[in-house]
Structure 1
C-alpha cells in the first residue's frame, strides 16, 4: 500500500498542511472518466482548471498529501500571469509576489550588463514576478477544490498504466489499498521523473550538461532591490557562476555552481553550504550578516524533450514532456503554456471537433516550442556553465572583454522565457492578410494587451473559446458574418464576437469595447473598419484580415 508521509514538510516561512487521503472505500464503484491527470504540480492543476473552463471534468491524482517541498519555481513571466488570470489565481499571485524587470550581471564584482525587460502602461503584469511555488500550488489547489468539475485525490499514486482500444486503465495505490480507474484520456503531468513516461518506455532527445548547481533558500535581511543578480567567476568560486533572487517572506535564493569533481552529497553537507553562503555574502558586502537555511537541493542542466507528446490516449505535459534548464525561467512557465494548449485541444477533441487532428497539432506546436526553447536555453547554459574546452575559453574571453568593451556585454543576456509563436501551426488561415499587416500580433502569436481604463485591459475581456475581434464604428455587424458565426456555434465551436471601436453597443456583437483614442487599432495595425483578428482558445492568433468577409471567416473556421 502507498503510504505518503503524514509529517508536515519543514519550512521557516510556509505552514505546510497535510491533507486527508482520498480513499476508495468511501466513494463506491468507479465509473470511467473523461480525463485523468496524473500529477498535481502547477502544470497538472492548470490543465485541470483549463479543462474545466471548457466544460470538461477531470480527476487529478496526487501521490503526496501536501504541496511540494521547497520554493522550486520562483519566477513567473508576464505571459504566465496572463494564463493564471484565466484560471483565477493571478490576483492572489500579484498580491503575494514581488514584481521585477531588471537583471544585473557582475564580473570580478563589477557590473558589466544590466538587463531591462520591457514594461509599459498597456501591461497589467510586470515582466517577472517572484513567488515560491508552494503558494502557487496552494492557490491552484484551492481553485481546483472550488470547481465541481475537478475531483482532486490526495494520496493517490498511479502505480501502473495500461492502454486499451480507446481508453486507459490506471492502477491507483492508496493508503488503504489499490483500485482501478478507467479514463478516455490520461494526462501525464508527473514531472521530470515521470513514471508514466517510464512505463511507456519513452526516451527524451537532447543533451545533459556537465556540472551541478546548488539551490539554497535562506532567510536573511539584505537591503537590495528585487532584481536578478548574477556573479561570474567570483574569487570564492573561480570559473563558476552564482545567481541570487529575492523571494517574499525575507527569503533569498542563492544558486551556485559546484567546483568540478564535487558530488551533490558533498555539496549539501551543512558545513559546505555554510562556507559557500558566507563567502557569497562576504563578496557582496554583507559578511557576518546572520542567516537561516530553509531548503536546499542540487540540480544539473538538461535540455531534453519527447519527440511526440501524444502516445495513444496518453498525453504528456510540463516536465513529463520536456526537461529545461532554469536559466531564463523556462520550467514552470513553459509548463503553463503546455497546459493551456493541451486543455483546449483536448476539450475540442472530446466535443468531436477537428477530425482527430487537434491533438496532433498540440504535439507539433508544443514540441516545436520545446525545441526552440532548447536552442535558446542551450546558449544560456553554455554561457552560465560552459563545458570545458572551447566553450569555456570563449565565455572567459567575453567576461574579460566586458570589463572594458561595451559591444560584448549584451552576450550576458539570459534569453528570458517568452511565449512561443505558432507561426507554422496547421490551424493558421492560409487565405488571410497576415503578410499585409505592418503591426500587431502575427500568426501564432499571443495577443498584445491594451489598457482600456484605470483597471481595465483587453485581456480581461477575452478567454474561454475562440474570439473574433471585429473593428468597426458601425451600429451593427454584417449579417453574412453573423450567419457564419451561428453556423460555427451550431457545430459546437465556442465563438464570441467582440466589436472594437464604437462608443455604443454594436448589434450582433457579444460585447463592444470602445477605442476612442485609437490605441487598440494602432497596436493591432488596423487602419479601417472591417479589419478583424481571430484568436484561438489559448488566445494565440490564427487569422487576421485587413477586411473580413463571410467567405474568408468561413475558410478560417474550417481549419478547426
Structure 2
C-alpha cells in the first residue's frame, strides 16, 4: 500500500516480503490491524505458543498521539505481556483529576482514580500511543512464532464452513490466506467489518478535542485538569 501523505513517521518498520503471486497459505490464526489492540492480541497469543500472522497495511508506526491515556487495567494487561513497566517509566503518572470553570481557582469537581493506595500501578498514565506501539512491536519481533506482515492490505474476505479466506495485496502481489480464526483489530473504521457488511456497534462521542504534545517545566502536581470556558 502507498504510504499515506501528511502522517509523520515515528518508526519505519518496512514492508514484509510477500509470498509468490497467487499463493494460498494455510494459517490457524490471522489478526488484521497493527495498532495496540492487534499487537497486544498477537503478543498474548504468541507468548502462549500459538502460530500467529498479523497483517497491517502500514509499513511504519505513525507519530501522532491518538490514544494518550492508559488506565490501571490496561497497564495490568501490558504487565502480563512484559511491556507495562516501559510505559510507566516513560509516561506521566496521575491519579487525581480536577474540573475547573472559567478563571475560578477552586475546582468544581475532583476525583481520585486510585482510592485504594499501595497498588502496583497508578490509576492512569498519559503517554502517546506510538510509544506503546513501539514497545509492543519490539516484543513481537522477538517471537519466532508471530509473523508480522507490515505493508500488506486485506482486500477481500470469504467465509465458508471450513473457515475464512482473505485476499491480501502487497506491492503489486496478490495472495490468499485460509484461516480458522480471523481476528479484526483494525479500529472503528474497520475494513474487515466493511468487507463483511457488519456495523460498528460501539459508542461514538461527538465532542471535538485538540491534542498537543508539549514538554514543560511546572511546579504543579501531575493531575488531570479539565476546563469548561477556559480563561
Change (3 A) 1:206 1:180: closer
Residues 61 and 134 (structure 1), Cα distance of their counterparts in 2 relative to 1, 3 Å cut: same
Shift in Å, 1:89: 0.4
1:31 equivalent in structure 2: 25
| Residue number in structure 2 paired with 1:389 | none
Normalising by the residue count of structure 2, what TM-score does the alignment of the two structures yield? 0.89
Q: Determine whether 1:70 maps to 2:73.
A: no
The answer to whether the 8 A contact 1:37-1:48 is kept is yes
Unpaired segments ≥5 residues, structure 2 = none
Give the TM-score taking structure 1 as reference length.
Answer: 0.38
1:150 equivalent in alignment to 2:146: yes
Alignment-derived partner of residue 4 in structure 1: 3
- Does residue 120 (structure 1) correspond to residue 117 (structure 2)? The answer is yes
Decide which of 222, 226, 237 is 2:222's aligned counterpart: 226
Deviations, residues 119-150 of structure 1 (Å, cap 9, x unaligned): 422x1111111111000000000111101121
The answer to whether the Cα contact below 8 Å between 2:95 and 2:122 also exists between their aligned partners in 1 is: yes
CA distance in 1, matches of 2:212, 2:50: 38
8 Å Cα contact 1:8-1:17 kept in structure 2: no
Segments ≥4 residues shifted beyond 4 Å: 25-30, 205-209
- Listed as ranges, the matches of 1:144-183 within 5 Å are 144-183=140-179
**What secondary structure sits across from 1:214 in the alignment?**
coil
SS in 1 for 2:132: helix
State the match for 1:216 in structure 2: 211
Task: Summarize the alignment of residues 480-495 of structure 1 with structure 2, pairs less than 5 Å apart.
Answer: none
User: Residue 216 of structure 1 aligns to a residue in which SS?
Assistant: coil
Is the 1:9–1:16 contact (alpha carbons within 8 Å) kept by the matching residues of 2? Answer: no
Asked which structure has the greater CA Rg, the reply is 1
Higher RCO by CA contacts (8 Å cutoff, separation 6 or greater): 2
Equivalence map 1:134-533=2 (5 Å): 134-205=130-201, 208=204, 211-219=206-214, 221=216, 223=218, 224-234=220-230, 283=231
Paired with 1:190 and 1:36, the residues of 2 have a C-alpha distance of 12
> C-alpha distance in 2, partners of 1:52/1:206?
28
Structure 1 pair 134–36 and aligned structure 2 pair: CA distance change class (3 A): same
